[in-house]
Chains A and B, each alone.
Chain A
């Protein structure tokens, strides 16, 4: 069920947290609010939930204007970065909380909680206290607790921010699967562009309190609206005054002859091996530097090494004017 945010502005003292932000989250989508820390994305999420009040603008959920409604009447499920577990309640009672205060019959509560604990894989830990759970387990408990009230929308504030890398990757996949099962409209706040692209089907890039661009991960990656989106979403380097993705460049040995097309001469300054990829910094003969992302195989084949003289070319599969608006 859709969320519509219109012309939201919010200040904290002198600091502008959000400046005239409008955003539509389509029903059933998983949208990521992506941006650097302090950019205002968490504030936007909290405003949607009713935990913060905007200075101006409106919040509409399912066509209902909820700008002035208190958090408890909005029917949103909210997950905090640090999970906010009720420390004095067991996992079961945590999940049951929303149903208990709605005075649902005990048998119904038990059945629903059992179902949810099964769904998040915590059925065997139902009688534990939050302090006895790992971070990932607490996060799943918080999700089950939020889902128990059958929320119209699910809001997740940096849900994987406090977890270690391995658990984070697991939970991302798990969340994506969960969303594909439940289809609850979900908004997720993250500063990790890889996480956003892996989990979400739509991205909304927020920076300095403004919405920079909204679209699918592929749209934003290939057609960024501005330099910020371009550089935030993935690696970027400048060639001949224009931004390109380093993996859209190819390197050719000078002795193999000048390749056709748009080509620049240069010298390899440094080669960095990053496991599956190789990063080559190239000093261009015409001034300036750029870097090229090569596959391991490709790098070995060319024998790329510091001091080597090379041609740098834009891949033939890519149009030469990749980011036309962004030429600097």
Chain B
């Protein structure tokens, strides 16, 4: 076969690429994190600033991810199920965070929510601090991760069409029942993937968060900012341990996604014939 001559070099090239870009650097991080023993790593992770950064990152994710999940499903439903003037504009707007540098997003948020921004006076009157505080970080993280759920769910909604939903309606289902029992199970797979991507982006976001948070250690420092600061302070162990914490979060996510996938496989008819 002609193909077989190329199979080996192709595999070597692909695996080599993967190794050089991902496997090698990431394993080096793991190695360096535990280079001075588990005790040192544990101490670095439980240091107040590191712990605060981890908790803050998880808090931001806990707020931003559900927000973008609800928003993403809502926008997808509107774009897939309704025709209205300006739909194309909404469709395009959703992608802006992917197209524009996160730093620009961060700056734009300061212009709107900063003390001298559009809502600055009003927010100050309500004693709400957005920029250089946790709400700003949530906003920035939510803004940059906005498209992921829409981009995963919208194609699925368009593909499944509306007939199942119509059938459910004729069988007596109200709008909520239709969504819960028909639409949601159908988009679950895409939604799970969209939520995973959103979470990964929220956990790892650096640029936009760096701009709006001010990166104050122990107050507005998320894990990526903590890692960056640690490197600047030549506190390499802390940096590597923080990096490992990020990696582990991502791995847990991937595992969760795989489990959901397995669970879903049956009704696509791939499992049994």
Which A residues lie at the B interface, using CB under 8 A?
A: 49-51, 70-74, 76-78, 80, 82, 84-89, 97-98, 101-102, 129, 131-132, 142, 145-146, 148-149
- Near A by CB (< 8 A), chain B positions 256-273 give 266-269, 272-273
Q: Which of B167, B170, B186, B266 lies in contact with A74, CB distance below 8 A?
A: B170
- Taking a contact as CB atoms under 8 Å apart, the answer to whether B186 and A87 are in contact is yes
- Taking a contact as CB atoms under 8 Å apart, the answer to whether A84 and B164 are in contact is yes
- Taking a contact as CB atoms under 8 Å apart, the answer to whether B269 and A131 are in contact is yes
Residues of A within 8 A of B272 (CB): 132
- Near A by CB (< 8 A), chain B positions 167-213 give 167-174, 177, 181-182, 185-186
- Taking a contact as CB atoms under 8 Å apart, the answer to whether B172 and A129 are in contact is no
Residues of B within 8 A of A71 (CB): 166, 169-170
- Taking a contact as CB atoms under 8 Å apart, the answer to whether A131 and B267 are in contact is yes
Which partner residue on chain B sits nearest A82 by CB separation? B163
Can you pick out 12 interface pairs between chain A and chain B where the beta carbons lie within 8 Å of each other? Answer: A50-B169, A71-B169, A72-B172, A76-B170, A77-B170, A80-B166, A84-B164, A87-B186, A88-B186, A97-B168, A131-B268, A132-B269
Q: Which of A72, A84, A142 lies in contact with B173, CB distance below 8 A?
A: A72
Which B residues lie at the A interface, using CB under 8 A?
A: 160, 163-164, 166-174, 177, 181-182, 185-186, 266-269, 272-273
- Taking a contact as CB atoms under 8 Å apart, the answer to whether B169 and A86 are in contact is no
Kindly provide the distance from the CB of A11 to the nearest chain B CB, expressed in whole angstroms. 15
Q: How far is the CA of A89 from the CA of B172 in the complex (A)?
A: 17
Q: Which of A74, A76, A80, A129 lies in contact with B163, CB distance below 8 A?
A: A80
- Taking a contact as CB atoms under 8 Å apart, the answer to whether B166 and A98 are in contact is no
Kindly provide the distance from the CB of A167 to the nearest chain B CB, expressed in whole angstroms. 20
Which partner residue on chain A sits nearest B170 by CB separation? A78
Number of A-B contacts (CB under 8 A): 74
- Taking a contact as CB atoms under 8 Å apart, the answer to whether A70 and B169 are in contact is yes
- Taking a contact as CB atoms under 8 Å apart, the answer to whether B171 and A149 are in contact is yes
Q: How far is the CA of A298 from the CA of B6 in the complex (A)?
A: 70
Residues of A within 8 A of B171 (CB): 72, 97-98, 101, 145-146, 148-149
> Lowest 3 CB-CB distances: which A-B pairs, in order?
A131-B269, A84-B163, A98-B171
Q: How far is the CA of A73 from the CA of B167 in the complex (A)?
A: 13
- Taking a contact as CB atoms under 8 Å apart, the answer to whether A84 and B167 are in contact is yes
- Taking a contact as CB atoms under 8 Å apart, the answer to whether A102 and B163 are in contact is no
Q: Which of B163, B174, B177, B185 lies in contact with A88, CB distance below 8 A?
A: B185
Q: How far is the CA of A72 from the CA of B267 in the complex (A)?
A: 26
Which partner residue on chain A sits nearest B189 by CB separation? A88
- Taking a contact as CB atoms under 8 Å apart, the answer to whether B266 and A84 are in contact is no
Q: How far is the CA of A186 from the CA of B168 in the complex (A)?
A: 19
Kindly provide the distance from the CB of A135 to the nearest chain B CB, expressed in whole angstroms. 14
Also in contact, A129 and B266, with CB within 8 A (given A72-B173, A101-B172, A102-B172): yes
Q: How far is the CA of A89 from the CA of B173 in the complex (A)?
A: 16
Which partner residue on chain A sits nearest B163 by CB separation? A84
- Taking a contact as CB atoms under 8 Å apart, the answer to whether B170 and A72 are in contact is yes
Residues of B within 8 A of A50 (CB): 169-170
Q: How far is the CA of A149 from the CA of B269 in the complex (A)?
A: 27
- Taking a contact as CB atoms under 8 Å apart, the answer to whether A149 and B167 are in contact is no
Q: How far is the CA of A149 from the CA of B163 in the complex (A)?
A: 18
Q: Looking at B160, B170, B182, which has the most chain A CB atoms within 10 Å of its CB?
A: B170
